């Protein structure tokens, strides 16, 4: 099975649980389980190859220019984590089916769960760091949905926000670190990055990249001081907690540290940052866990401690420590998932998770007692269970590791943490299941059906089997994953229960015996712990969030106050400041060109352009005059384009000017003639000063560039050279639009269509409101002509219509080799239609409409997209055009380019957008006597709004209501 399909199956499966919930809870759970099972089966197909040390790959060049490739890689490390994610995921799906109540929306739960599962699978299979970052952020978003699944609980909403804030912030830091790493290597593919250890560690950017990446890992895996979010995530349902702590989310940070181990480890920076953080986290989590009375809180802090253990092993930087880390990942996933599910069973059956209200459940819940006891003993590191083996390997590596030349610090703290680990594991067993039976349980407890205990029972069987026969059961998986982490030959190691009388054995004995002593002293230690002053992470987090929120509100209110002139002033000032800094610190070189003599006509045009621009500034409150002056500016710019041998731009500018002037004139017809005074004199002086400085700076920059040659080849030379050879056209501008920069043009026609649709939507909302009567009954600002549709104009426009269409077709077909193209042709044809509206009126024009403007925009975008997709079938990038020559007798041989199809889409989109905007504005034509009511079943493009009355009382009532 393809790696693409394995990664996609959870996302595809997420569609069905919500759809099938009407068929019953079993159908919804079965759909979710089937998706995970199929993905797991596909993964197991590759197991033989991966366990032999091979790497399975799947590659797809998505956006190669940006380095974003959808590449997947399955090696031993990815196989280990994917197996845990999908395997434990199936058990969680089964467990959740019987854990969730009928009031819980189960279809929604499984949808969130599969999205979370798919994001985790994507992380561990990604062979591109940009793709990995996408999946990384998806885990934060999907975990937010899962943690806050019980939306009615305040602690659930708080836990979800806290997890998203902490892990999301770390994710942003990690994005920066990964981008630095890709910049150092020159590739964003992990398979390439992992082969450049020397290049990365010799770079001056190694330490910044390391710190930023580790911030992402530490926040995700709840390492100190970011550990506080994980216990608050326990507000989620127990299936989520079990999945989160055993195989997903918190293991993502561990995975990334292991994945980057070959290139980031082995330096003092790696050792002191990673090993120290892991050691502190292991100790802090273990100590706090002992004094938690909530079952899930105890297990949550135990997870923090064990994640610190794995992080510390990876931080040691030795090969054997890496093997021990991989082994403990397997062991921790098995016993921790079983423990959380057993805690969920206790909560489900007794109605409480408070340890002080429990005890004596051994006789009442023997199956749950057996499952929980075996899992807890494994967590404590008691032989012959699997937790004992990896704990021994950890203690052995800690004994041989020095910290600041001290061989005592790490072994002593490792034993201290193991001692507390044994103590809270023993407490989980004794305070919940042992002792005498109580009479004050919230509910009378008993063992549930197999639907709840089967999943943890399977995991407990693995705990025992791995412990008794680790070399056979877990050895191949650990070896394959460790080899992927190390990136070379494996060190000598043996996974077995007895290694002789070693320092690790003595340290383990001390930890177990000390844990039993701590359990006996728990009441006394608890009183001391409660009296001990200590910071509360939640209070600190809330305070930090409040400060950041206040600061953000202050900055936002100060900058984003709704005054566009302030936005422009800030942006322009910043731009000018950056430009001046570049000018002051850089070197522009000596002028190499001599200015040409300016003829009198361009000088006159320049004076007119400056004069019109100044006049717009001076008379800007007069909207009509400002629009006329803007048209003058556009006309002069068009003439400048033509003078500078850019006829394409001149044609486009003229066409755009005509269309926009008509539409804006139509819009101004519904607005006051003058704008209000909204700027003080001080603000005007400020804006004038900024504008003058920015204008002088921009003009100086342009003048300096024109006087100098470029030290590097310009992009224009490439376009001129490859226009015909690569795009099949001699009109360079058109080839750029439809081929070289076709994606830009495609985006532009989409934006143009969206703008037209927004105008239509606004017109719809106005015409269906009380404002409609006011607009249609308003009195014009100027005296109206007695003849609204002059006969001469009507005759001329109808004669010009076929001529304009022919000109549009001519401009369209010649566009690839001569000035023209789909954009200009669309504007020319649109102008022809505009003239019909102006000459004969909205009602006459709309009665003769033969096509819908919405559909015209849609077909234009679809044709352009289909043309671009066609390049994929020839293994070419999106929107790459092709061309050739055809000979159809009796015609001469002529050129045919696929770009013409794309240009057709541009033509239709432009034409439809202009006409839809015109149609929307034209519907506000003055129709005195229109009442307030608006029949919503009328098609606004086919029917004219009715005129039920024209008496003065109708007009008066409409104006009064408006």
Give the C-alpha separation, 565 to 689, whole Å.
Answer: 13
Quick check: 372 pLDDT over 80? yes
DSSP string, 120-138: HHHHHHBSBHHHHHHHHHH
The number of beta carbons lying within 10 Å of the beta carbon of residue 858 is: 16
Quick check: 363 pLDDT over 60? yes
Give the C-alpha separation, 114 to 120, whole Å.
Answer: 10
DSSP string, 803-829: HHHHHHHHHHHHTTTSS--HHHHHHHH
pLDDT tens for residues 208-267? Answer: 999 999 999 999 998 988 888 888 888 889 999 999 888 888 889 999 999 999 999 989
Give the C-alpha separation, 579 to 643, whole Å.
Answer: 30
Give mean pLDDT, residues 716-731: 82
Give mean pLDDT, residues 791-795: 86
pLDDT bin (cut points 50, 70, 90) of residue 946 is very low
Quick check: 868 pLDDT over 70? yes
User: ∠ at Cα 283 (279, 286), nearest 5°?
Assistant: 135
pTM: 0.72
Give the C-alpha separation, 252 to 44, whole Å.
Answer: 21
Give mean pLDDT, residues 304-309: 94
Give mean pLDDT, residues 371-394: 92
Give mean pLDDT, residues 491-508: 84
In what helix (H) or strand (E) does residue 259 lie, and over which residues does it extend? helix 250-259
Q: Where are the domains of the chain?
A: 267-520, 732-962
How big is the chain, counted in residues? Answer: 962
3-state secondary structure of 186: coil
Contact 310, 279 (CB under 8 A): no
Q: What percent of the chain has pLDDT over 70?
A: 93
Contact 146, 240 (CB under 8 A): yes
pLDDT tens for residues 437-459? Answer: 888 888 888 889 898 999 999 99
Give the C-alpha separation, 758 to 756, whole Å.
Answer: 5
Contacts of 566 (CB under 8 A, 6+ apart): 559
Residue 939: the pLDDT is 38
Quick check: 490 pLDDT over 60? yes
Give mean pLDDT, residues 603-628: 89
């Amino acid at each position: 099975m393809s790696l693409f399909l394995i990664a996609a199956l959870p996302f595809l499966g997420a569609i069905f649980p919500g759809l099938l919930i009407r068929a019953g809870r079993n159908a919804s759970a079965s759909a979710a389980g089937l998706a995970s099972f199929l993905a797991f089966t596909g993964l197991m197909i590759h197991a033989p190859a991966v366990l032999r040390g091979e790497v399975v790959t799947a590659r797809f060049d998505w956006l190669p220019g940006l380095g974003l490739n959808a590449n997947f890689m399955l090696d031993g490390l990815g196989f280990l984590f994917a197996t845990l994610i999908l395997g434990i995921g199936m058990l969680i799906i089964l467990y959740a089916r019987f854990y969730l109540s009928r009031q819980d929306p189960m279809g929604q739960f499984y949808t969130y769960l599969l999205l979370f599962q798919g994001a985790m699978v994507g992380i561990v299979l990604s062979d591109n760091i940009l793709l990995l970052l996408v999946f990384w952020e998806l885990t934060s978003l999907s975990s937010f949905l899962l943690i806050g699944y019980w939306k009615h609980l305040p602690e659930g909403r708080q836990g979800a926000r806290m997890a998203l804030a902490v892990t999301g912030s770390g994710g942003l830091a990690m994005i920066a670190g990964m981008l630095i790493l890709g910049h150092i290597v020159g590739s964003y593919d992990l398979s390439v990055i992992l082969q450049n250890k020397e290049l990365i560690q010799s770079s001056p950017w190694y330490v910044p990249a390391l710190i930023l990446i580790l911030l992402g890992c530490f926040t995700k895996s709840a390492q100190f001081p970011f550990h506080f979010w994980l216990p608050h995530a326990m507000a989620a349902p127990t299936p989520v907690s079990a999945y989160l702590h055993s195989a997903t989310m918190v293991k993502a940070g561990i995975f990334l540290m292991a994945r980057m181990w070959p290139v980031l480890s082995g330096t003092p920076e790696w050792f002191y940052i990673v090993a120290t953080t892991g050691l502190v986290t292991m100790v802090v989590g273990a100590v706090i866990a002992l004094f938690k009375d909530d079952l899930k809180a105890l297990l949550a802090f135990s997870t923090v401690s064990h994640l610190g253990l794995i992080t510390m092993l990876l931080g040691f930087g030795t090969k054997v420590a890496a093997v021990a880390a991989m082994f403990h990942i397997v062991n921790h996933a098995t016993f921790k998932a079983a423990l959380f599910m057993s805690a969920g069973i206790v909560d489900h059956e007794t109605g409480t998770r408070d340890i002080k209200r429990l005890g004596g459940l051994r006789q009442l819940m023997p199956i749950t007692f057996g499952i929980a006891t075996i899992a807890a003993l494994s967590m404590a590191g008691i032989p012959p269970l699997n937790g004992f083996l990896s704990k021994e390997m950890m203690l052995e590596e800690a004994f041989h590791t020095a910290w600041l030349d001290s061989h005592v610090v790490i072994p002593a703290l490792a034993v201290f943490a193991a001692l507390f680990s044994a103590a809270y594991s023993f407490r989980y067993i004794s305070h919940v299941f042992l002792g005498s039976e109580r009479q004050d349980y919230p509910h009378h407890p008993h063992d549930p059906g197999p639907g709840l205990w089967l999943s943890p029972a399977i995991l407990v069987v693995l705990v025992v089997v791995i412990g008794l026969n680790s070399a056979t059961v877990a050895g191949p998986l650990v070896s394959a994953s460790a080899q992927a982490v190390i990136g070379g030959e494996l060190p000598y190691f043996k996974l077995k229960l007895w290694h002789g009388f070693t320092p690790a054995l003595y340290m383990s004995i001390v930890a177990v015996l000390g844990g039993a002593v701590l359990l006996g002293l728990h009441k006394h230690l608890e009183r001391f712990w409660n009296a001990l002053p200590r910071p509360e992470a939640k209070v600190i987090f809330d305070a930090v969030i409040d400060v950041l929120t206040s600061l953000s509100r202050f900055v936002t209110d100060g900058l984003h106050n709704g005054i566009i002139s302030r936005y422009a002033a800030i942006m322009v000032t910043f731009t000018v400041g950056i430009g001046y800094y570049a000018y002051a610190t850089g070197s522009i070189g000596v002028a190499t060109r001599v200015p040409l003599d300016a003829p009198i006509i361009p000088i006159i045009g320049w004076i007119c352009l400056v004069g019109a621009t100044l006049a717009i500034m001076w008379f800007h409150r007069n909207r009509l005059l400002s629009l006329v002056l803007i048209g003058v500016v556009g006309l002069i710019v068009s003439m400048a384009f033509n003078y500078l041998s850019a006829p394409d731009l001149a044609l486009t500018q003229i066409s755009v000017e005509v269309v926009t002037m008509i539409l804006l004139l139509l819009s101004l017809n519904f607005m006051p003639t003058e704008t209000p005074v909204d700027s003080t004199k001080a603000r005007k002086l400020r804006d004038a000063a900024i504008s003058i400085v920015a204008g002088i700076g921009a003009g100086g920059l342009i003048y300096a560039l024109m006087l100098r040659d470029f030290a590097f080849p310009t992009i224009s030379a490439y376009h001129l050279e490859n226009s015909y050879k690569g795009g099949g056209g001699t009109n360079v501008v058109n080839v750029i639009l439809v081929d070289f920069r076709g994606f830009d043009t495609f985006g532009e026609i989409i934006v143009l269509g969206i703008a037209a649709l927004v105008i239509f939507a606004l017109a719809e909302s106005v015409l269906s409101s009380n404002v409609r009567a006011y607009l249609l009954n308003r009195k014009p600002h100027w005296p109206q002509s007695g003849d609204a549709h002059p006969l001469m104009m009507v005759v001329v426009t109808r004669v010009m219509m076929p001529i304009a269409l022919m000109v549009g077709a001519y401009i369209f077909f010649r566009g690839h080799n001569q000035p023209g193209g789909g954009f200009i042709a669309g504007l020319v044809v649109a102008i022809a239609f505009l003239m019909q509206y102006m000459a004969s009126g909205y009602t006459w024009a709309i009665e003769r409409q033969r096509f819908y403007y919405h559909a015209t925009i849609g077909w234009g975008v679809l044709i352009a997209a289909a043309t671009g997709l066609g390049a994929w079938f020839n293994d070419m990038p999106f929107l790459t055009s092709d061309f050739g020559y055809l000979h159809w007798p009796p015609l001469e041989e002529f050129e045919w380019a696929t770009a013409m199809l794309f240009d057709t889409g541009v033509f239709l989109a432009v034409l439809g957008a202009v006409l839809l905007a015109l149609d929307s504005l034209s519907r506000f034509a003055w129709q005195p006597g229109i009442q307030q009511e608006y029949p919503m079943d009328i098609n606004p493009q086919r029917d004219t709004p009715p005129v039920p009355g024209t008496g003065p009382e109708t007009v008066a009532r409409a104006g009064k209501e408006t």
